[in-house]
A and B are shown apart, each in its own frame.
Chain A
Amino acid sequence: MMGLIQSGLNSIALAAMIPLQPAAASTIADGVDKLYLILSGITAFFTILIFSIIFYFMIKYRRRSPDERAPETHTSMFLELAWTIIPSLICVVLFVWSSELYVRNSRPPNASTEIFVIGKQWMWHLQHPEGPREINELHVPVGVPVKLTMTSQDVIHDFYIPAFRVKKDVLPGRYSSIWFQPTETGTFHLFCAQYCGTNHSQMIGWIYVMTPTDYSAWLAGGEKTESMAQQGEQLFSQFGCGNCHGGGDTAQGPSLAGLYGKPQRMSNGQTAVVDETLIHQAILTPNSVQMPNYKAIMPTYQGQVDEEQMLQLIAYVKSLGSEERTSGK
């Protein structure tokens, strides 16, 4: 019955020219699709196997007279072991395969371009490090790895590009990241895949994958803007951060140069790596990431720094880190 229905559905689908596969436009898409295909094959095989056996038994062993009795059959240890061990082995293979792929897919290449994303009810706000901002649209060059650093201004969202097979929740109060490397130029869907309220289904957009030349032209074509780090530097002086974090012996707070990406001892005895989330915490709830040798005198900037400015400040702190490293060489 099921087999018939499935083949029926398939032929209807073909007749209506429904695509059965989404566009595959990133370096990881093929690997995911291969695994999907194998899983579909396993599903089809066992479904057809079970259905065929049931149908065969249904016909062969149908009751032929009302008082017919069935002969006793004994539980076979061999069969029980076989259908415990074989599925277990299949599961082990699938686990190893999918986990290896997942670990590989989740590691961004080192030389990724970094783009910052803020999700808010119900739009995507994106900013390139060079400065240009976009709403519900993202322009990226083909063939270049792109890393997204994402946070939410309100509820949980989820950044999902089906054609790239990437998806990650975007949470308030912390930074998550994904990366992708487009393999084809074109226009692809961007969806919010975590229910976020009334207009969740309108929190969608487009990813424009362009040739490198088109992309440079696009970058140059927009309004002239300062880079994110430059914008962050302005905020840094506007909020007076440099008074304490400017470096020098009299400074009341740690110098931020070269701090990003390094482990630091906190006054509660724990060691934490200075990353986006830690900088975010340091600005909004300074006492939670107090460093030893400094007084707990930093005020909170809660309500004064919005998520966009936060990202610019983070970009600035990160740029300090890279200068330090270059000058150290």
Chain B
Amino acid sequence: MSMAIADLHEAPADSSVNYLNATYGIRSWLLTKDHKRIGLLYLATTTLMFFVGGGAAVLMRLHLIEPQGALFEPETYNKLFSTHGIIMVFFFMVPSIPATLGNFLIPLMIGARDVAFPKLNLLSWYVFVTGCIFALYATLSGGVDTGWTFYPPYSSSFSHTHVVAVALGVFIAGFSSILTGLNFIVTIHKMRAPGMRWFRLPLFIWAMYATSLIFVLGTPVIAITLFLLGLERILHVGIFDPAVGGDPLLFQHLFWFYSHPAVYIMILPGMGVVSELITAFSRKKIFGYSFVAFSSLSIAVISFVVWGHHMFVTGQSVYAGLVFSALSFLVAIPSAVKVFNWTATLYKGSISYEAPMLYALGFVGLFTIGGLTGLFLAALATDVHLNGTYFIVAHFHYVMVGGAVMAYLGGMHFWWPKITGRLYPDYWARFAAFMIFVGFNLTFFPQFVLGYLGMPRRYAVYPAEFQVLNVMSSAGASILGVGYLIPLIYLTWSMRYGPPAGPNPWGAKGLEWTTSSPPPTENFKEIPIVTEDAYNYPTPEVPRV
């Protein structure tokens, strides 16, 4: 941004010393205060959790090939879907983009040497790992069978599984989110380079800012909710179980007060990533910068007042239902504005189709379907039929997997040369992107139909008439599973054997591309001075006809 075009391709002279090779040894990683190394620590942890959660999903889909269940007893199946949900939501999706890409990129993008509180940043990783250990311990020592939603009184008085250990894991991991959110908010406020005004910030930063707000405001609620659940389970204090004087719906209100905004914790960073990708690969300014930026903030705000749409069939009053339905429709608008602006950004662009762009376009398409199917669930009359069925499963996987995970992979491929200083084989990356897109749709599209037909979710066995669609879904899952393994292989390969990337392999704008790849520990030799807007791609001297 601050640099002229010629500078973009010019590596600093002593690029041989970078954050990866400045110091060696396990201690230098485990005690690092460098936001980039902490980002990589998170990357390793969340990748491990992703494949644990993904493994559970593959086993579930295999089991569901037969109506009577091909592999497991219902008890085991219930533990598999609970593990899948808990690990994927709390230990992969929530930290995935913020804690890895966010940690790595926020200081680089705003022209800072590190985050505001580097020690706190390291602490939040340790807190997160502690949470992961509790969750993995619970999984390995017999599992938990409450579903990721932990609804009492089942979870507090009836389940005989490791509810407390898992809840404690989620509780602890929550503090990591709060610390990270706090760190990011302060960093974005106080550490911007000279000239980096709010409306010059890359949209990824706006998205991370909105996400951090939800982290700080929402996470304490889930923490206290799970704490109360533990209290009831261990000490039989009547909070949620009516048999001891509690109210089970109170839990659902508290749980969704966090967990609906948490959906936006997962998708907002993805939207930020996609804004970066689409502009870079079409060499265009984003269409409607301020509309995209403010839609992130309005999504973050509205997301706190729509939780009741998870409870339309619980017996919540008709009027509460009407209010939550209206607010849920409202949250669809800023999302639609984003989709239209991304599409318009392509107009008259100079578009190329490297792997990150394929992921970004895949995101726009799948998020569109995920968002539109949300209307079925905001609408009261159809929600009554679809709530609790596979339609819900399909809808939120389109948003979270088709949306957030696609964006995460796109971002990972886009910034991988910056992170490692190496290029990966683009052919394989495009192949994997295509495979993931096909596998994803084959897995989840049939589930919309299953849901409308009335198949409830979380069923270990099911009526035979639903088998064909289930087999299609399982077949898709196997393609999707392989699709996710391929990047793991070539990205790992590229760390050692990939050709050097140079500071800016994509010719992209943004301060992170002005420093060497991998960047030096201090990010910039000199703190840059910003003089132009984001995405200020050069335009032709003579307009193209």
Contact = CB atoms under 8 A, between A and B. Distances in A.
Contacts of A156: 151, 153-154, 248
A158 B369 contact: no
A42 B314 CA distance: 28
B6 interface: no
B282 A22 contact: no
Interface in A14-28: 16, 18-22
A36 B376 contact: yes
Given A43-B369, A158-B388, A162-B453, A105 B381 contact: yes
A108 B379 CA distance: 20
Q: Give the interface centre of A53, A75, A168 by most chain B CB atoms within 10 Å.
A: A75
Give the secondary structure class of B's interface: helix
Interface string B355-398: 00000010011101100110110111110110111000000000
Contacts of B544: 71
A22 B453 contact: yes
Contacts of B540: 69-71
Contacts of A189: 454, 463
Interface string A161-199: 011011111011110100000000000010111111111
A272 interface: no
A171 B465 CA distance: 29
A266 interface: no
A32 interface: yes
B156 to A, nearest CB: 10
What class of interface size applies to chain A in its complex with B? 35 or more
Contact of B381 (A35, A57, A61): A35
A68 B543 CA distance: 11
B314 A70 contact: no
Nearest to B352: A63
Contacts of B452: 20-22, 36
A145 to B, nearest CB: 17
Contacts of B321: 102
Interface in B435-457: 437-438, 441-442, 445-446, 449, 452-454, 456-457
Interface in B103-159: 145-147, 149, 151, 153-154, 157-159
Contact of A80 (B154, B241, B249, B337): B337
A292 interface: no
A69 B538 CA distance: 6
A2 interface: yes
B389 A13 contact: no
Nearest to A196: B154
Given A13-B449, A95-B325, A39 B438 contact: no
A99 interface: yes
Interface of B: 74-75, 78, 145-147, 149, 151, 153-154, 157-159, 241-243, 245, 248-249, 282-285, 287-289, 291, 313-315, 318, 321-322, 325-326, 329-330, 332-333, 336-337, 339-341, 343-344, 346-353, 361, 364-366, 368-369, 372-373, 375-376, 378-382, 384-385, 387-389, 437-438, 441-442, 445-446, 449, 452-454, 456-463, 465, 468-469, 472, 537-540, 543-544
25 contacts: A1-B437, A2-B441, A54-B361, A62-B351, A63-B350, A63-B352, A69-B540, A70-B348, A71-B539, A73-B347, A75-B291, A84-B337, A91-B329, A95-B326, A156-B153, A162-B385, A162-B454, A165-B384, A171-B248, A172-B153, A193-B389, A194-B388, A201-B458, A201-B459, A201-B462
Sorted nearest first, the 8 A-B pairs with minimum C-beta distance are A162-B454, A173-B242, A98-B379, A102-B380, A193-B388, A201-B459, A101-B381, A57-B346
Given A2-B366, A73-B287, A121-B158, 17 more contacts: A9-B446, A39-B375, A43-B376, A58-B351, A61-B351, A64-B350, A79-B288, A83-B336, A91-B333, A95-B326, A102-B325, A168-B313, A192-B456, A195-B78, A195-B149, A197-B154, A198-B74
